[in-house]
Amino acid sequence: MKKLSLLFLNTFLICASFAQTNGIINNGDSPHVKLKSINMGDCQWTDGFWADKFKVAEKTMVPYMGELLTGDVGHALNNFKIAAGLKEGKHKGMKWHDGDFYKWMEASMYVYSQNKDEKILEELDGYIDIIGKAQAPDGYIHTKVQTEDDMHRFGNRQHHEMYNFGHLYTSACMHNRLSGKTNFLDIAIKNANFLYDTFISEPDHLKRFGFNQTQIMGLVELYRTTKEKKYLELAELFINMRGKAESVPDATANFKFIGDMVQERTPLRKAKTAEGHAVLALYFYAGAADVAAETGEKALIDALDRLWNNVVDKKMYVTGACGQTHHGASTKVDMVHEAFIAEYMMPNLSAYNETCANVCNSMFSYRMLGLHGESKYADIMELVLFNSALSGISVEGKDYFYANPLRVSHDGYDPGNDTEFDVRQPYIPCFCCPPNLVRTIVKVSGWAYSLSENGVAVNLYGGNKLTTKLLDGSKLELTQETQYPWEGNVKFTIKKCKKDAFDVLLRIPDWANGSKIMVNGKDVGVTANAGSYATINRKWKKGDVINLEMPMDVKLLEGHPLIEEVRNQAAIKRGPVVYCVESPDLPEGTDILDVYLPLKSKLTATYKPDFLGGISTINGDVKIRKDEKKGMYRELSDIKWDSYKAQFVPYFAWANRGQAEMSVWIPILME
């Protein structure tokens, strides 16, 4: 037994020595991770859906956003200049705007990892120099607090200092990994040392300070980058502080930002349900998953399992979106905002579903994928990416949604606020979502593959070339050819590999019943069970070809019986893509609430390369109700129907043809 233990330890140490260290999350040496990250840049998109999206991001999304944030519209760079004494003026924009700028810088580095354009590094070096000059001598940096006479450090949790710090750490770590430079990392380290010195003694007046806790993820990443254990210690402290200090007087927040709203009523390890602000919650859970990857603490992992299941099985929309309400009440006593509410309470017209929350859902699932190595987590990542994430940005790449409802009607519902629109906006004053989404789009290639103990796992499908090293240090090169998600056929070709046998793990999505796997044109006896990784172990050689065939049937989905808002309605889904009906595809003047889907309607898919950036539409018969509406409640009388051949578009592509009504869920008409 002792010899076996030593053998395992030696094997682990050998694998760790060859682990990738330049991944989106640097979990190469994390002892409690089953699927490790590949280096950012090892996977290069070549053609198809994600290659097209990356090109738009490279040429439009990231440059356009940079113009906003470094100019007089987005204010962010100006704020750093003012704090640095390089410019006169007052801080403009939200208190958390520094973090938005850091996210955009991170997105720029992901673009650099693919195109190696040195101009990106030169531009960022200029901004880093300004940020460094804005930083206080003790390491503190938060431009709003630094430039306003009536504000002081950690005076109010809603100032989002922790949020800004966390994005600083993450962005600086990625800059260091991908450029080899330390100028940005030095700023992050200086700030993190300040944060450690301030909080590690748990002073009473700061015990309830945490709010939008991206600093937990950032601190773990800083620990992984520098190997300085105090950053991991501090990250765990911020988890431990939640839910145990309610008796401590708190002058740093008003009544609206305590309790469930900020996940502090219950200690995380005892939590059973996802509560409160969805973005705050999911950032918190993702950070806790990073800590668990380092410590392996069972109680923490068990809690994260409960919370993930609660989100996915009882509080998540069919699009992968999270955060059912803009304003409401928790299941206990707290006012909540942009938040999770009761289980199975899933309004469509008033659904909030902040883009950040949707993106954070995929970030949390990516970390859970590493911890457990189970395909269900990648299923959620993919669901979010193709639906509730991409809906947050226009096909062109310049306009944004903050909220992502599943139904929009101009008949009787007006949200009346500055974050809910039926037309995407070129700039949103609360600018947290756009850079969060854009940095996600440009880093998807880093999520596409993971490294298993003796092989590679395929998490996401798209035309690409992978050039990486397995955990034993052996080189692996392969290509992936596919028109996924519009087609279900995927072809892998091995270009270079070791002589010894290793695993190729193919994720079979939970919707892909009936999938088939062939190697070099032959059935090799590997079962492709939907909702799992299919493992092919063999001695591979150059030129070997794997074919995965996934059926792409059009399916009608129904909701859980307890979701009253979708009773007797259906959503259309093909592969990973959820569809909607939109008013431009209906007769002029049609009310979206009068559209019904015959249960036996024949639905067919057609790929249109020149429509909305290249998508597959679905076509089928609908019925349009024609009776006159009278009052809030009406007698059920003879109804007149018009038949119409309607076109359904992917949910992410709606609202790219002007102001429109839209619905994901459509009432079923029994015939």
Q: What are φ and ψ of residue 413, in 5° steps?
A: -130, 120
417 — pLDDT class (breaks 50, 70, 90)? low
pLDDT band for position 534 (cuts 50, 70, 90): very high
Q: Give dist(CA 542, CA 544) in Å, integer.
A: 6
CA neighbor of 273 nearest in space, from 327, 340, 351, 329:
340
Instruction: For 164-221, write each residue's pLDDT tens digit.
Output: 999 999 999 999 999 999 999 999 999 999 999 999 998 888 887 777 889 999 999 9
Class of domain 450-549: mainly beta
HSE of 223 in the Cβ direction (CA atoms, 13 Å)?
Answer: 24
Q: What is the mean pLDDT of residues 380-394?
A: 98
- pLDDT surpasses 70 at 101: yes
10 confidence band (pLDDT: 50, 70, 90): very low
Q: Is 639 helix (H, G, I), strand (E, B) or coil?
A: coil
Measured CA to CA, the distance from residue 339 to residue 494 in angstroms comes to: 46
- Under the banding of pLDDT at 50, 70 and 90, the label for residue 256 is low
* The two structure tokens encoding residue 566: 């979708």
Exposed/middle/buried for residue 223 (C-beta within 10 Å: 0-12, 13-18, 19+): buried
- 459 near 450, Cβ under 8 Å? yes
What pLDDT score does 251 carry?
58
Largest CA distance in the chain: 82
Q: How far, in Å, CA of 174 to CA of 221, rounded?
A: 9
Q: Two tokens at 286?
A: 């993702």
* Confidence tier at 416 by pLDDT (50, 70, 90): low
pLDDT at residue 12 in the model: 43
Average pLDDT over residues 388-404: 97
- Report the half-sphere exposure of 61 (CA within 13 A, side-chain side): 30
Looking at residue 359, its pLDDT comes to 98
pLDDT of residue 246: 59
pLDDT, tens digit, for every residue of 489-507? 999 999 999 999 999 999 9
What letter does residue 422 receive in the DSSP assignment? S
| Rounded Cα–Cα distance for residues 124 and 573 (Å) | 41
Beta bridge partners of 556: 572
Whole-Å CA distances, 482 to 86, 492, 651: 50, 9, 22
Share of the chain above pLDDT 70, in %: 94
- Closest C-alpha among 319, 316, 326 to residue 346: 316
DSSP SS3 for 640? coil
**CA-based Rg of the chain, rounded to a whole angstrom?**
25
Q: So what's the pLDDT on residue 252?
A: 64
Which class is 20-449 in CATH? mainly alpha
Could you read off the pLDDT of 118-164 as tens digits, one per residue? 999 999 999 999 999 999 999 999 999 999 888 899 888 888 999 99
Residue 393 DSSP label? B
Beta strands across the sheet bearing 449-452: 36-37, 449-452, 455-458, 502-508, 532-538
Residue 639 is predicted with a pLDDT of: 82
Separation of alpha carbons 250 and 411, rounded Å: 44
- Residue 669 backbone dihedrals phi, psi, to 5 degrees: -110, 115
- Give the residue, 403 or 20, on which the prediction is more confident: 403
CB atoms within 10 A of CB 479: 17
Residue 255: the pLDDT is 61
- pLDDT on residue 385: 98
Q: pLDDT tens for residues 610-666?
A: 999 999 999 999 999 987 777 788 777 778 899 999 999 999 999 999 999 999 999
Q: Are 431 and 354 in contact (CB under 8 A)?
A: no
What is residue 415's predicted lDDT score, i.e. its pLDDT? Answer: 59
Per-residue pLDDT tens digits for 47-91: 999 999 999 999 999 999 999 999 999 999 999 999 999 999 999
**Polymer length of the chain:** 671
Is residue 338 helix, strand or coil?
strand
CB 444 within 8 A of CB 50: yes
* Percent over 90 (pLDDT), the chain: 82
Average pLDDT of the chain to the nearest whole number: 92
Is the full-model pTM beyond 0.85? yes
pLDDT at 668: 96
Do 619 and 645 contact (CB within 8 A), yes or no? Answer: yes
Tens-digit pLDDT profile for residues 450-493: 999 999 999 999 999 999 999 999 999 999 999 999 999 999 99
Q: Give the start-to-end residue ranges of the domains of the chain.
A: 20-449, 450-549, 554-669
Helices and strands, number each (H, E), in the chain = 16, 24
Instruction: Give the pLDDT band of residue 115 (cuts 50, 70, 90).
Output: very high
Strand pairing partners for 492? 480, 546
- Local confidence band at 9 (pLDDT 50, 70, 90 cut-offs): very low
Task: Report whether pLDDT(13) > 50.
Answer: no
pLDDT for position 4: 38
The number of beta carbons lying within 10 Å of the beta carbon of residue 310 is 18
> Dihedrals φ, ψ of 652, to 5°?
-65, -20
Q: Could you report the per-residue pLDDT of 325-351, keeping only the tens digit for each?
A: 998 877 667 888 899 999 999 999 999
Q: Tell whether the model's pLDDT for residue 14 goes beyond 50.
A: no
The model's confidence at residue 6, banded by pLDDT at 50, 70 and 90, is very low
Token output for 4: 């076996």
